Amino acid sequence: MSAGHGHRLYRPGDSPIHRLPPHCKLVALVGFVLAGVSTPREAYWAFGAYTVLLGVVAAIARVPAGFVLRRMLVETPFVGFALLLPFVADGPTVDVLGLTVSHDGLLGAWNILAKGTLGVIAGVLLAATTEMRALLIGLQKLRMPPLLVQIMSFMLRYGSVITAEMARMRIARESRGFVARDLRQAPAVAKSAGALFIRSYERGERVHLAMLSRGYTGTMPVILDARATGTQWLAAATLPAAALVVWAATLTLGTEFPT
């Protein structure tokens, strides 16, 4: 329970990106995402520029493309929705690969895919270069309400405990010959979910009592005080500043590629 709680999204390293304080990287991520979502969807060249910027960050952080691509599966539901949008949206239609689709729906699908993918890649790079505990410390430095930080901290710490409990319950069921093949086994699975909830609730009560007995008063001690120098803030600001330049170019030069 007292281990470092490493996460599979994190990729250990000693790159300049890894060494940046977590709150600097969080601010850089928010700035980059805001620039991306504010970009007109017709400015195709701008999204290419954003992709290049993220590629540079990945290269500096030494994060392989395969590592990023495997962790982009979280975007799958949005991709499915975007692929359906051209077929269900109203408005003028166009022919694409022999299919008649909505022009507005096609642009909407591109808008979701382009901006969503950029945000996911940026988030994966942040998680790959920053330990989860450090991210929580960064949120504290950015003055996020302490209660929210504590909730996220407990979720991070005890998520693996609940997952292990689920695995033990599954093994116990299968050792007694139970295999969930169809809906007829749904009642047994529902009872297992209820038992897991009760066990988790009881464990939470025991943990809370243990914390109170050790002097817990509603606030968690700051184990690591992450400080940022002006140079580190400047380095972190490079990505959102470059994205802001691209965004400003779309306003002054239009959506056509500047020549």
State the average pLDDT over residues 224-230: 75
The predicted-structure confidence for 99-151, as pLDDT tens digits, reads as follows: 788 888 888 889 999 999 999 999 999 999 998 888 888 888 888 888 888 88
Q: What is the pTM of this model?
A: 0.78
Rounded Cα gap, residues 96 and 224, in angstroms: 55
**In this structure, are strands 99-102 and 93-96 parallel, antiparallel, or unpaired?**
antiparallel
pLDDT at 231 over 80: yes
How is 121-141 classified by DSSP, letter by letter?
HHHHHHHHHS-HHHHHHHHHH
The predicted-structure confidence for 43-84, as pLDDT tens digits, reads as follows: 889 999 999 999 999 999 999 998 998 888 888 888 888 888
- What is the percent of the chain with per-residue pLDDT over 70, rounded to a whole number? 92
Rounded Cα gap, residues 200 and 122, in angstroms: 33
Rounded Cα gap, residues 19 and 24, in angstroms: 11
State the average pLDDT over residues 176-188: 78
pLDDT at residue 257 in the model:
54
CA terminus-to-terminus distance, the chain: 57
Rounded Cα gap, residues 161 and 3, in angstroms: 12
Helix (H, G, I), strand (E, B) or coil at 12: coil
Q: Residue 236, Cα to own-chain centre: how many angstroms? A: 19
Rounded Cα gap, residues 244 and 31, in angstroms: 8
Residues 6 or more apart whose Cβ sits within 8 Å of residue 233: 24
Give, as one character, the DSSP assignment of residue 257. Answer: P
The predicted-structure confidence for 7-37, as pLDDT tens digits, reads as follows: 677 888 889 999 999 999 999 999 999 999 9
